[in-house]
Structure 1
Amino acid sequence: MAESSFDIVSKMDMQEMTNAITQTEKELASRFDFKGSKSTLTLEKETLVVVSDDDYKLGALIDILQSKMLKRGLPIKNIDYGTIESASMGTVRQRLKLKQGIDQENSKKINTLIRDAKLKVKSQIQGDQIRVTGKNRDDLQAVIQLLRKADLTVDLQFTNMK
């Protein structure tokens, strides 16, 4: 019987993220409470810079963005919220880091969860992803179910099922 495998990754589709930002900007233009506001969203590589008039409007802007992300199937778990800081002309700014890949801490946690499940599979860390191999596909499916229920700080996708 051949070995089966799959990869555990944590990625954010940047094209979909751009679409979510565009939809958020369209909603801002049509909302009465944001009329005349200096609210903007700027995507700089892996960081989204959110600027608004005050803390309340910044929170509302992030709520709109999160709802648009969820509608597009983007994980909001993969956002690392920076501190709210003062910006020019009386505005406030917050940097949202978009996490790509699984960091070392979560990789170790995932490996420990898989090992403690006592399934006949092997898992190995390969950079920012994890490859799980095993002879029985049912064991691989059990690993996927286990990780979906696990409380991790990143959203996981399961790819390359062979």
Structure 2
Amino acid sequence: MPSFDIVSEIDVNEVRHATENATREVSTRFDFRGVEASFEYKDGTVKMVGEGDFQLKQMLDILRNKCTKRGLDPASMDTEGKVDITGKTYTRVIGFKEGIEQDMAKKIVKLIKEDKLKVQASIQGDKVRVTGKKRDDLQQAMQVLRSAELGQPLQFNNFRD
């Protein structure tokens, strides 16, 4: 029986490279000249340090642009963290969403069932396995999930025929 897994993964090496590229761009930009502004990659998170909230927003745009160029989905960036203000420095930590949480997995299963596709979806830890009798049904399920706005990037792997 054909099946595939729905996962949400990011390549941490690409995140590190995007952070290094963003650091290089900040060091060469005119509006950041003579200003303390930096990116630091550590354990799957990126710490941004700047001298103002406006600079942090610009730095976030730079990082988002570099992640997109490296093939990372900007929707995987967790930008909900608050800004810490210490003296004249503003600090923000950007995390990356990895793995499918239980409520998101339930939402995916519900979405597949609402479309009345001839497939079965089951939650298996931090991934969702979809099985069906025909390959076309599985591809139709992939299309439904790609068109849905779930707020988290999804990848389809482990496709077995």
Give the TM-score normalised by structure 1.
Answer: 0.94
> Contact (CA 8 Å) 1:106, 1:153: kept in 2 or not?
no
Instruction: Return the letter of the residue paired with 1:33.
Output: D
Q: Answer yes or no: is the 8 Å Cα contact 1:20–1:68 preserved in 2.
A: yes
Q: Could you list the structure 1 runs, at least 4 aligned residues long, displaced by more than 4 angstroms after superposition.
A: none
Following TM superposition, by how much is the alpha carbon of 1:78 offset from its aligned partner in structure 2, in angstroms?
A: 1.1
Residue of structure 1 equivalent to 2:85: 86
Q: Which runs of 5+ in 2 are unaligned?
A: none
- Pairwise CA RMSD: 1.0
- Give the match for residue 43 of structure 2: 45
For residues 94 and 113 of structure 2, the distance between their equivalents in structure 1, rounded to whole angstroms, comes to 33
1:19 equivalent to 2:17? Answer: yes
The answer to whether the Cα contact below 8 Å between 2:3 and 2:138 also exists between their aligned partners in 1 is yes
Scaled by the length of structure 2, the TM-score of the pair is: 0.95
Percent of paired sites with the same residue:
42
User: Would you say how many aligned residue pairs link Structure 1 and Structure 2?
Assistant: 159
Per-residue deviation at 1:85?
Answer: 1.7
Measured after TM superposition, the shift of residue 44 of structure 1 is: 2.2
Say whether the 8 Å CA contact 2:44–2:95 is kept in structure 1.
Answer: yes
Give the alignment partner of residue 123 of structure 2, picking from 102, 122, 125: 125
Q: Find the aligned partners of 1:95 and 1:16 in 2 and give their Cα distance.
A: 17
For structure 1, which runs of at least 5 residues remain unmatched after alignment?
none
TM-superposition CA deviations, 1:36-77 (whole Å, max 9, x none): 221111222132211111011111111011001111110111
